[in-house]
Structure 1
Amino acid sequence: MIKQQGLRAGIKSRQHGAVAIIVAICLVALVGLLGLVLDLGHLYVTKTELQNAADAASLSGAKELNGRLTGINNAISKAVEAAGRNKFNLQSQALVISSADIRVGACHTSGCMVPITSITTDALAANKTFLEVNTGRHNLGTWFAQVLPSIISNMATSAVAVAGKYAADITPIAICQLANPGTTNELGYERGVSYKVSAANPIGPGTMYWIDPESATPGNCPVTNTNAGRPYVCAGKIGFTPVVGQTVNTNSGNSLGPFFEALDSRFDMYPSSAQCDPATAPPDANIKEYVPGSAPGLADQWMGTDPVQQSITFVDSATNGACKPNKPCKAKPYSLRTATDYGVLWAGNRPSGATVAQWSTLYNGNTATSYPETSPYAQTSGDFFTAPAVAHRPGIPRRRVLNMVIVDCSAAGGNCRPVTVLGVGRFLMQRKASLPNSDKDLYVEFGGLLPTPLPTSDIKLYR
């Protein structure tokens, strides 16, 4: 009995400290796991900081891309500057990137991207509308995780962001390059002169060229033959950036009525068939029409030779006679014009540097009287101004100015036919395209080509 008691006492004596050892081992594991959680949290926060910096840098840089080398250089500067305003590693280190960390491309996928430093000419910059920023890998020392065996003592993370244009300020209408009229012109168009869009085409008078607002890929036209194009007409935007020298897809078969009604949202008209919403397609701040006629605010108040038509006379491209169905038309050559061949002039635009004293020389005897400087359209009160409905005020200035692609129409039109983009022009809608006018058509006054090949666009993050 005494022997058994001694044996038990010996065993008990040998177990002294075992609990302490177990607790010590558990504490090491617990501290290690706690450290791992903290270190992973550190990694996650740093990753988020780097991603935010990459996002900001790519957005800032992408806004500068304008199809020219100057835009490329500005994009580098803005992206580097935006990245430098951000910190990482729990806001303890400033992020530094360089041009070596930036790529650009014609689409947002990685396969489209090239180093931004490889873009050395305007030609190479022409279609670069997306910008990628890579922050590079940054090492982070662990705090507690290395207490555990086999746990790395350093972690690393990085971030990449791509931003680019997605909603270009382009009305989905194409207008054809015109023959040189013998005056100062841009792709055949003269500033301050009005044109009937359906006459400026190779098919003959009465045909409009609409462009697919979602795709520039030849043969791929998801919208152009459907009413789904109306919201794009309402807003005056398309889902891609047309690039000079590349193609857009045209269609000459759309129903004109609803599309013209969609254009007239700029004049504060919102019939249900147009599918326009004032919230996304607001009216212009000045909805006054500038048309021939004798009434306050009409063209005869500033034009000495009363216009008898809305736009310049179009003639047969080959004979200079009257336009004929299915035959190409052109604006009447300057040498053949008289004052009555002009429509409403200078409603919102004029040739660069021109004054009303030059009208007789510029327009074959036409004169200006009581011209409201700077233009009728620029007025904010009086006969040449009409505000939109109270519910839609103040409207958006220059909403009636349509950015339209000018294309090479040497080939006849058709459904989903690719045509080459030659430029983007600014055109002022002088009057409504639809009701209450009996002559339903789009009349626009040319205001010049965009100063850069690429139109302004909304910018968004892609990845």
Structure 2
Amino acid sequence: MKLKKIRHRKSERGSVLAAAALGMLSFILAVGLGVDVSHLYLAKNELQNAADSAALAGASGLNYQSSGIADATDRATKAMNSYQFENTKVVIVPADVRFARNLSDFDNGTDMSEGQAAASTVAPDIKFVKVTTPQSPVNVAFVSMVLGNSLDLWAEAVAGVSVPLNQFAGYLPVSVVCDATCTSLVPKQMYTFRGGPQGSVAPGNYQILAIDGSGASDDRIGLASGVKNIVGPGGYVDTKPGVSAGAVRQGVNTRFDDYASQLDPINFPPDSNIKEGIDFEEYSDAKGRKQPPSNDGVAGRRVVLIPIVKASEFSGGRTRVQIDHFGAFFLSSKVQGGNGGDLQAEYIGVGVVVGNGEYDPTGTTNPGPPITKPVLYR
């Protein structure tokens, strides 16, 4: 009887050990599965973020013209191809970038390739860009018997233009002065705007605006990065006396990779193309003349928003003026030395995707071609 009890206890101990071993194995598998699933989840999010950034970069290149389609493709592919996923580059080609007039086109198969979207009769209506990444393998460490040695992940994102904005931020803290009707600016025309004395402002001048502050450093930073305060057509802003030619030159020229007065390329990056003497059409053309900066550049830094104010607003030496509307300009050249601080800029005169802002349904519509911003839709 005693021998039977001993054998029974040994059998129980063996069963407990087997159950414990099985439980430990299950626990390890569960932990391993959790680790692998978490890794896959993070990797998927990382890949999705890269696709989102590439789609937004593509949408920022749209300009309602054929050149904008090529620029959108170029920006999207460059954004994605500079990304490292699992220590390996994710490379997309132009065929991975698709275009559409409407969001539903991506669902019903009527989206377009770069070549189709660039047709002169189609490009003005293109509002959306989709980026699809190729399948990228992610290694599985713990539960390869369940999931395999690796799992392929991919991502897609759709970005496009917003509704036309009527409240703006990120514009230059200067006002271009226009005539009584503000219709004298001609699309694709290059202008030289000169700083005007406070008491004798005339069309063709510009005035410094005291948006984020009235000091020279505020002018410099505002011209290098755009101002923060939001305002729209019909809004009032303060001006400041004097030309501040040095601050104008130092702020604007950061966009051409020229730095001074404690402005740096990290906070105020240059444009990705600093070639002077070109127009907006050539700048937007992927095959146009280019000059890369020595510092890391950001596409679109030479396309700027500037408030336009009637000359009559400055009569009597007034220092608070009403904005007529906002216009999009292309900075063709750096501001040269001297006391005038002349701005060389082309009035773009077509719809652009630029800057920051919002749409206020109760606000005044900004006249002229639409000014929009890139928006991630899905």
Gaps of 5+ in 1: 170-231, 238-279, 291-309, 312-343, 354-373, 403-425, 437-441
Q: 1:17 deviation in Å?
A: 3.1
Letter in 2 for 1:124: V
Residue 37 of structure 1: which of 34, 39, 49 is its match?
34
In 2: Cα distance, 1:163 partner to 1:459 partner: 7
**What is the RMSD of the two structures over their aligned residues, measured on CA atoms?**
4.7
Letter in 1 for 2:351: L
Q: Deviations over 1:346-381 (max 9, x none)?
A: 7x779969xxxxxxxxxxxxxxxxxxxx77x63243
Q: Determine the structure 2 residue equivalent to 1:98.
A: 93
Q: Determine the structure 2 residue equivalent to 1:125.
A: 123
Q: 1:82 deviation in Å?
A: 0.7
Residue 5 of structure 1: which of 2, 10, 15 is its match?
2
* 2:195 is the counterpart of 1:379: yes
Q: Determine the structure 2 residue equivalent to 1:163.
A: 159
| Maintained 8 Å contact 1:283/1:392 | no
Assess, with a 3 A threshold, how the Cα gap between structure 1 residues 111 and 443 changes in structure 2: closer, same or farther. Answer: closer
| Maintained 8 Å contact 1:287/1:388 | no
* 2:53 is the counterpart of 1:59: no
Q: 1:289 deviation in Å?
A: 8.0
Q: Deviations over 1:207-252 (max 9, x none)?
A: xxxxxxxxxxxxxxxxxxxxxxxxx3xx3x7xxxxxxxxxxxxxxx
Letter in 2 for 1:461: L
Residue 310 of structure 2: which of 419, 430, 444 is its match?
430
Assess, with a 3 A threshold, how the Cα gap between structure 1 residues 55 and 22 changes in structure 2: closer, same or farther. Answer: same
Assess, with a 3 A threshold, how the Cα gap between structure 1 residues 381 and 459 changes in structure 2: closer, same or farther. Answer: same
Assess, with a 3 A threshold, how the Cα gap between structure 1 residues 164 and 381 changes in structure 2: closer, same or farther. Answer: same
Q: Deviations over 1:53-78 (max 9, x none)?
A: 10111111111112222221222222
Q: 1:168 deviation in Å?
A: 3.5
In 2: Cα distance, 1:63 partner to 1:443 partner: 22
In 2: Cα distance, 1:351 partner to 1:13 partner: 94
In 1: Cα distance, 2:164 partner to 2:29 partner: 53
Assess, with a 3 A threshold, how the Cα gap between structure 1 residues 28 and 391 changes in structure 2: closer, same or farther. Answer: closer
In 2: Cα distance, 1:52 partner to 1:443 partner: 35
| Maintained 8 Å contact 1:286/1:387 | yes
Assess, with a 3 A threshold, how the Cα gap between structure 1 residues 458 and 427 changes in structure 2: closer, same or farther. Answer: closer
Gaps of 5+ in 2: 202-206, 234-305, 317-323, 330-345, 354-371
| Maintained 8 Å contact 2:187/2:350 | no
In 2: Cα distance, 1:42 partner to 1:428 partner: 52
Assess, with a 3 A threshold, how the Cα gap between structure 1 residues 454 and 111 changes in structure 2: closer, same or farther. Answer: farther
Q: 1:430 deviation in Å?
A: 2.8
Letter in 2 for 1:57: A
| Maintained 8 Å contact 2:173/2:210 | no
Letter in 2 for 1:162: V
Residues 50-449 of structure 1 correspond to what in structure 2 (within 5 A)? 50-88=47-85, 91-109=86-104, 110-111=106-107, 114-117=111-114, 118-146=116-144, 151-153=146-148, 154-168=150-164, 232=166, 235=167, 285-286=174-175, 378-381=194-197, 383-385=199-201, 393=214, 429-431=309-311
Scaled by the length of structure 1, the TM-score of the pair is 0.43
Q: Secondary structure at the match of 2:174?
A: coil
Q: Secondary structure at the match of 2:147?
A: coil
Q: 1:38 deviation in Å?
A: 0.9
Q: Determine the structure 2 residue equivalent to 1:22.
A: 19
Q: Which moved more, 1:46-55 or 1:7-16?
A: 7-16
* 2:357 is the counterpart of 1:460: no
Q: Deviations over 1:179-210 (max 9, x none)?
A: xxxxxxxxxxxxxxxxxxxxxxxxxxxxxxxx
| Maintained 8 Å contact 2:187/2:348 | no
Q: Secondary structure at the match of 2:151?
A: strand
| Maintained 8 Å contact 1:61/1:76 | yes
Assess, with a 3 A threshold, how the Cα gap between structure 1 residues 350 and 83 changes in structure 2: closer, same or farther. Answer: closer
Q: 1:142 deviation in Å?
A: 2.2
In 2: Cα distance, 1:453 partner to 1:21 partner: 76
| Maintained 8 Å contact 1:57/1:78 | yes
Q: Secondary structure at the match of 1:140?
A: strand
Letter in 2 for 1:72: I
Q: 1:128 deviation in Å?
A: 0.8
Assess, with a 3 A threshold, how the Cα gap between structure 1 residues 388 and 33 changes in structure 2: closer, same or farther. Answer: closer
- Identity within the alignment, %: 20
Count of aligned pairs: 248
Q: 1:382 deviation in Å?
A: 5.2
In 2: Cα distance, 1:126 partner to 1:350 partner: 16
Scaled by the length of structure 2, the TM-score of the pair is 0.52
Assess, with a 3 A threshold, how the Cα gap between structure 1 residues 285 and 51 changes in structure 2: closer, same or farther. Answer: same
Letter in 2 for 1:455: V
Assess, with a 3 A threshold, how the Cα gap between structure 1 residues 5 and 391 changes in structure 2: closer, same or farther. Answer: closer
Q: Which structure is larger by alpha-carbon Rg, 1 or 2?
A: 1
Q: 1:138 deviation in Å?
A: 3.0
